[in-house]
Amino acid sequence: MTQSLTFLAVHAHPDDEASSTGGLFPLLRDQGVRTVLVTCTNGECGDDPAGNKPEHDEHDGDAVAALRKIELEQAVSILKIDRLEMLGYRDSGMDGWEHNNDPRSFWQTPVSDGAAALLKILREERPQVIMTYNDFGFYGHPDHIQAHRITMEAIKQLDYEPTVYFNAIPKSVFKGWRDRMREEQEANGDELDEGVDFGTDDADIAVAVDVSATTPLKFDALSAHASQITEDSFWMKMGKERFTQTMNTEWFVRATNPLGLEGVATDIFAGYR
């Protein structure tokens, strides 16, 4: 096929592009696919430059957003993303936070408004493949749920049917990570984290992309988000070498399937080339 290919991801916060699609973005770009990132919120609810948590009286959400925008632009450059669009909504915070009720928050924005803003970009780019989160927002964060909702609403209004994927981590993989973390905690004499049942049933995985060629860039992009992904985070503590060996696959489940694809693909553009 000779049509030009475009991939578009709808993410909730600055840094989500790196954590769930940091291998995929540069891999696709290296294959000649145009890549577009839509980031819905400015990430005001992250830790501020003085280290204050969002519930702290002096937490400065606007300063967080300004810093995270710079970090996001660095990550976009590392991941070779062709176009970044920020929808500019205010971070709604985690489920149950008072920020959920801020009328400026993404969570309080009518789905139709967010969908209209996204639709404008979709009509310009006409991506064949779109990635966002499932209806639980992958882990229940209101902004991730809202990213899902505006995406599913916007695609209904397109004059063609894109293939939509949700990011995923297979249960078996998640369990492996958790077991290893627990082993380390035990070895260090640290308090053990409660195990949570998390992840997607392995049988539901539709695409498993080997991103080992670009995992070093994924690590660098995560590092660019230094105000939120600090040195003592799970990923940074792994170090670049071990991260590159371990985080070499990105998984997706199929949400729409206009081409009638079956089985597990290794290419998120399966059926288009």
Distance CA 16, CA 181 (A): 22
Task: Determine whether 188 is exposed, middle or buried from the number of CB atoms within 10 Å of its CB (0-12, 13-18, 19+).
Answer: exposed
Q: Which is nearer to Zn ion, 13 or 90 (CB)?
A: 13
Q: Residue 121: enclosing H or E segment and its boundaries?
A: helix 111-125
Binding range to Zn ion, per CB under 5 A, among 9-17, 29-37, 106-114, 160-168: 9-17
Residues 93-152 that bind Zn ion (CB under 5 A): none
Task: Tell me how far, at minimum, the Cβ of 242 lies from Zn ion, in Å.
Answer: 24
Distance CA 69, CA 174 (A): 30
Residue 154 touching Zn ion (CB under 5 A): no
**Strand 207-210 relative to strand 163-168, pairing:** unpaired
**Is the distance from CB of 168 to CB of 205 less than 8 angstroms?**
yes
Distance CA 204, CA 21 (A): 19
Binding range to Zn ion, per CB under 5 A, among 16-24, 56-64, 125-133, 224-232: 16-24
Q: Which is nearer to Zn ion, 6 or 227 (CB)?
A: 227
Q: Which is nearer to Zn ion, 13 or 59 (CB)?
A: 13
**Is the distance from CB of 75 to CB of 225 less than 8 angstroms?**
yes
Residue 90 touching Zn ion (CB under 5 A): no
Binding range to Zn ion, per CB under 5 A, among 10-18, 31-39, 111-119, 204-212: 10-18
Q: Which two tokens stand for residue 88?
A: 């500019």
Q: Which is nearer to Zn ion, 128 or 146 (CB)?
A: 146
Binding range to Zn ion, per CB under 5 A, among 13-21, 193-201, 245-253, 259-267: 13-21
Residue 13 touching Zn ion (CB under 5 A): yes
Sign of torsion over alpha carbons 73, 59, 236, 89: negative
Task: Tell me how far, at minimum, the Cβ of 236 lies from Zn ion, in Å.
Answer: 17
Q: Count how many Cα atoms sit within 13 Å of the Cα of residue 36 in the half-sphere of its side chain.
A: 20
Task: Tell me how far, at minimum, the Cβ of 229 lies from Zn ion, in Å.
Answer: 12
Which residue has the CB atom at the shortest distance from Zn ion? 13
Task: Tell me how far, at minimum, the Cβ of 13 lies from Zn ion, in Å.
Answer: 4
Q: Which is nearer to Zn ion, 139 or 272 (CB)?
A: 139
3-class secondary structure, 251: strand
Binding range to Zn ion, per CB under 5 A, among 15-23, 145-153, 173-181, 246-254: 15-23
Candidates 233, 268, 193; CA nearest to 23 is 268
Residue 12 touching Zn ion (CB under 5 A): yes
Give the residue, chosen from 10, 16, 214, 219, that forms a contact with Zn ion under the rule CB under 5 A. Answer: 16
Q: Which two tokens stand for residue 93?
A: 């915070």
How many chain residues touch Zn ion (CB under 5 A)?
3
**Is the distance from CB of 216 to CB of 235 less than 8 angstroms?**
no
Q: Which is nearer to Zn ion, 12 or 270 (CB)?
A: 12
What does the binding site for Zn ion look like in residue numbers (CB under 5 A)? 12-13, 16
